[in-house]
């Protein structure tokens, strides 16, 4: 008794000897496609094959479910310069931004990670004049260039300022002032990554996503804490 494959082969061989080549090729491809579709339907209609398929897929699903994807939590802090949204995982802070859109904040969430609690406490100390640097692991997504700019921002001392031109020089390209300014504006961890300490070359306050009044407040706050000077700009 001939199998389906043998029958198909004999038909194809006869076609190649009795019909033009182009028609034979077309019929061959069509017949092969039909055979493959039939085999696939028969395989997946058999309970045993379905079980084997699931047997291979279940471990994959289990592995996907057990991936260690860090959970990001958020909380809010009413600072002297407005509402701050603070986000992070159990291991690092990912975001500190000014949030002027939220009208009502619900009660403090329970089971906040110690990292978020520690961040809020250090921010309170900063605004109370009791902290000049932060001791928190940070993580924010960005290009290699942006990461380099943010790292340079972290090196600007408390109550000190530099110009965008100087920041570009520190990143290795004095002509990259515009790119540096853009990276400065992409910083999503304000205050801790002190983009507010970068000012114009003429000592003017320029460019701050939280608003220039906040930039002025933060700089004057730091100068007052460090040197007793309250008004600079």
Catalytic residue ranges: 195
Residue (of 130, 181, 114) closest to 152 by Cα position: 181
Residue that is written with structure tokens 């038909």 in the block: 11
Cα distances (angstroms) measured from residue 199 to each of 43, 94, 96, 141? 69, 25, 20, 24
Are 204 and 198 in contact by the 8 Å Cβ rule? The answer is no
Edge-to-edge strand list for the sheet holding 73-79: 73-79, 82-88, 93-98
Burial label, 135 (beta-carbon count in 10 A; 0-12, 13-18, 19+): exposed
| H-only helix segments in the chain | 4-18, 21-44, 47-65, 114-127, 144-153, 164-171, 177-185, 212-227
């Amino acid at each position: 008794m001939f199998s389906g494959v043998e029958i198909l082969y004999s038909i194809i061989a006869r076609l190649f000897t009795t019909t033009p080549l182009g028609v034979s090729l077309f019929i061959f491809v069509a017949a092969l496609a039909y055979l493959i579709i039939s085999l696939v339907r028969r395989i997946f209609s058999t309970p045993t094959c379905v079980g084997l398929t699931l047997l291979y897929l279940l471990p994959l699903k289990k592995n996907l479910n057990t991936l260690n994807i860090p959970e990001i939590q958020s909380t809010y802090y009413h600072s002297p310069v407005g509402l701050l949204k603070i986000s992070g995982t159990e291991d690092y802070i990912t975001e500190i931004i000014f949030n002027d859109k939220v009208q009502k904040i619900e009660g403090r969430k329970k089971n906040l990670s110690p990292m978020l609690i520690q961040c809020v406490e250090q921010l309170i100390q900063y605004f109370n004049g009791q902290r000049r640097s932060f001791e928190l692991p940070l993580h924010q997504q960005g290009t290699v260039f942006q990461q380099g700019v943010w790292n340079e921002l972290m090196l600007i001392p408390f109550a000190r300022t530099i110009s965008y031109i100087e920041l570009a020089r520190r990143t290795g390209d004095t002509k990259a002032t515009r790119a540096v300014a853009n990276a400065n504006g992409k910083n999503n961890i304000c205050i801790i990554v002190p983009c507010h300490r970068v000012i114009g070359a003429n000592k003017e306050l320029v460019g701050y996503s939280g608003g220039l009044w906040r930039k002025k407040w933060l700089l004057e706050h730091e100068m007052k804490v460090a040197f007793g000077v309250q008004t600079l700009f």
